Amino acid sequence: MKKTTLYVASAAVAMALTTASCSQQATAEKQQDLTTVGNPYLPLWEHIPDGEPYVFEDPDQPGKQRVYIYGSHDTRITDYCGREQVVWSASVDTLWKWRYDGEILRVDKNGKGEPIDTADVLFAPDVTLVTDSNGVKTYYLYPNDQVGGRNGLIAKSNRPDGPFEVCNWNKENPNVNDGVLQFDPGVFVDDDGKVYGYWGFGHSMAAELDPTTMATVKPGTKVVDGMIPGYKEGDNDFRFFEASSIRKVKDKYIFIYSRFTKEGEFGLPTTNYTLAYAYSDNPLGPWTYGGTIIDGRGREINEKGDTIASANPSGNTHGSICEINGQWYVFYHRQTGLNEFARQAMVAPITVEVEEGKGGKVSISEGEYNSEGFSLNGLDPFERHSAGIACWYTGPKPAEHGWPNYTFYGSYIEAGYGTDDNFKAPYDLRNNTNRVVNNTDGSIVGYKYFNFEASKLSKEENLMLVLRLIPEGIDGTIEIMMDRPWASQGGKKIGEIALKADMEKKTWDMAIGISKEAKENELAGKHAIFILFKSDTKNKSLCILEDLVFTFDK
């Protein structure tokens, strides 16, 4: 039976309501009228880490293509992932309109169909497609099942949105399955029909798989033990950690994975919060190290010229690359809150250049940690955006680098979870926001990027930035900077407003007048916007930031 689906706009735009109507529910259809999509690109109450993106044909609209996101599901709140895997998808023509396609796999029975007490915990999956000689399509889902003996679990379906059914239970012991794949599997079907699998945790493994089982090593071949060097395996640039993913572009094989940086690399402490790539002329190597594709720390330069983490200082990430309508993207995840159990799906545009022929080079640009997501021309500033799409959140001094809990001396994004009602229409937008909290003196919250159309700025009315916030009993000032947080780096102050200690601790819409000079001469085009918090009271939050929108005073 086909599952009920719900369309929702991106989390970045789902708060785009007027002040008067912010307390009302909005239907899914209303959300589809919104025009820009930000990061994270799924609703902010949804937590899909480890996302593997694929463009498949829509089974309900032959000839039409959709992007499908297969990932873990952070629903256990106090630990990684969940006991179910779900899928979201969007038409390649409407990347601002994501659809929840529902649960695709839950393993709460053994191989005999008998119920078990607790469903398996399912970590990062991958998906591959096999099309037979008659054109029949079979989709294979490879979750990283955390139950012993089930790590190499495989399920199949005749639809990309499932449901999927486990297909490799062992005949002699129905509680385990057959197969060689283990931690964070990645699977690839080559143009010649050969199947390859990749996996590993700190140590990279790969093998050619038997196409009749899609799980076991092909007879006559062997597992490649240590396909690329791990981060503890001597001095090397690869430094493999986890998150194996494989793509083929033209005649080159590209291996995407989570990499542990070297201590001091990029001017920061070591982390596994990056995705890197290697490339080869052959699916099992040898491989050439390529470089970093995305850094979840949001590397930036502070006012003193030092490299900083403008987002979470540490964490994990997992994802891959995908070409949609001629544009390449890197898909990955970020952390919210103060641990790694509320991760969100992120995206950034990149370029992929391939020199064909034996020994040809593959060059992939590093994506930027940003707020705009699929809106490559910038977000619409006149739509209300959740504060949680911030891509810069720093404090007066660097956060301590630790795991699993970080000490934040300044702003960070509060984790938020939805309920079952989030997946039903009409959709209550009040549940679709991440607040930015702990906005202490010296904290900076930034958004890259907004696109201010000159035609809209030509209005005679005064331009304002309206911040929806909750004061926290501290005297202070909020300054708005454009392009950079500091004048010494070319930033320009465009507005300011005061917070008073005696303000009632409730939600306020506070309007900040934007300087007429900026409106008329400098604001047109694509710009980053930064919110700076200042107070004589140290280490106490001035306010909780909920959302923001630019508007005109008539």
In tens digits, the chain (554 residues) has pLDDT values of 344 344 343 333 333 333 323 322 222 333 334 456 789 999 898 999 999 999 999 999 999 999 999 999 999 989 999 999 999 999 999 998 899 999 999 999 988 889 999 999 999 999 999 999 999 999 999 999 999 899 999 999 999 999 999 999 999 998 999 999 999 999 999 999 999 999 999 999 999 999 999 999 999 999 999 999 999 999 999 999 999 999 999 999 999 999 999 999 999 999 999 999 999 999 999 999 999 999 999 999 999 999 999 998 888 999 999 999 999 999 999 999 988 999 999 999 999 999 999 999 999 999 999 999 999 999 999 999 999 999 999 998 877 765 555 677 899 999 988 666 655 544 344 456 789 999 999 999 999 999 999 888 888 899 999 999 999 999 999 999 999 999 999 999 999 999 999 999 999 999 999 998 888 889 999 999 999 999 999 999 999 999 999 999 86
The sign of the CA dihedral 293, 294, 295, 298 is positive
Q: Which amino acid is at 153?
A: L
Spatial separation of the C-alpha atoms in residues 497 and 476, rounded to whole Å: 9
Contacts for 378 with CB less than 8 Å, ≥ 6 apart:
36, 372, 449, 450, 451, 526, 527
Helix, strand, coil abundance in the chain, percent, nearest 5: 5, 40, 55
Burial of 311 (0-12, 13-18, 19+ CB in 10 A): buried
Please list, residue by residue across 222-252, b when 16 or more beta carbons sit within 10 angstroms of its beta carbon and e when fewer do.
eebeebbbbbeeeeeebbbbbbbbbbebeeb
What does the H/E/C string look like for 134-160?
A: CCCEEEEEEEEECCCCCCCCCEEECCC
| Tokens matching residue 255 | 């291996």
Spatial separation of the C-alpha atoms in residues 424 and 136, rounded to whole Å: 33
Please list, residue by residue across 300-310, b when 16 or more beta carbons sit within 10 angstroms of its beta carbon and e when fewer do.
beeeeeeebbb
Nearest to 4 by CA among 72, 74, 102, 90: 102
Burial of 461 (0-12, 13-18, 19+ CB in 10 A): exposed
Token look-up 């059914």 returns 165
3-state SS assignment for residue 492 = strand
